[in-house]
Amino acid sequence: MNFSKTLLVTLTLASSICLTACHQSDTKTAAAVAGPAVDSKVLEANKQLTRDYFQAFLKGDTAWMKAHIAPTFIRHDPGLDFEVKGPEGVAKLHDVLMPAFPNMVLPLEDFVAEGDKVLVRLRVQGDQTGKFGDMAPSGKHVDIGVMDLFQIKDGVLVEHWALLDNFGMLKQLGAIK
């Protein structure tokens, strides 16, 4: 083999080794950043748990809440003037919202699950026919976007971050212009 062919073979092998090593390093780095792999069945079960949460919330199913919401559960929601902790807190939230919007529906639009978290994009829709905070019944319809991020441990909801379009809701109810 002449020198140029030997150099070409050597460079090709070196490039191949480098690319393989770089790919393995990137894969290890990506895995370290993403955290431990989670079985797809667990991810699907976590998504189903959040679907079930919304159904239980609408029904006020306190038995479901006690079985699937940790006593230490906390809902982070900047729009609320009270703390939502544990299944009792979720039941209180139900008792505050459902009389104001008795025909509330929660169309669930998207789910993204990774690790121990599930992100749900949904809508809150309903007519305000009951008192809502200091607001008298208006009969007006609301339709707002919501992003809910849940953390799940051992098949139980342990934390919840809620972002609702509160400004849009207040506009729709005529509380602000």
Length of the chain as a residue count:
177
**What one-character-per-residue DSSP string does 61-107 give?**
-HHHHHHHEEEEEEEE-TT-SS-EEHHHHHHHHHHHHTTTSTT-B--
The residue ranges of every structural domain in the chain are 1-35, 38-172
How much is the pLDDT for 37? Answer: 67
How much is the pLDDT for 34? Answer: 52
How much is the pLDDT for 36? Answer: 59
The pLDDT tens digits along the chain (177 residues) read 443 343 333 333 334 434 444 444 444 444 444 555 679 999 999 999 999 999 999 999 999 999 999 999 999 999 899 999 999 999 999 999 999 999 999 999 999 999 999 999 999 999 999 999 999 999 999 999 999 999 999 999 999 999 999 999 999 999 998
Nearest to 48 by CA among 91, 111, 142: 111
Token pair 């090593």 is found at 21
Phi and psi at 155, nearest 5°, equal 75, 15
How much is the pLDDT for 32? Answer: 47
- Strand positions, DSSP E, 28-155: 69-76, 84-85, 108-114, 117-127, 141-153
CA angle 122, 107, 125 (to 5 degrees): 90
Joined together, the tokens standing for residue 169 give: 């809701």
Strand partners, 152: 157
CATH for 38-172 is 3.10.450.50
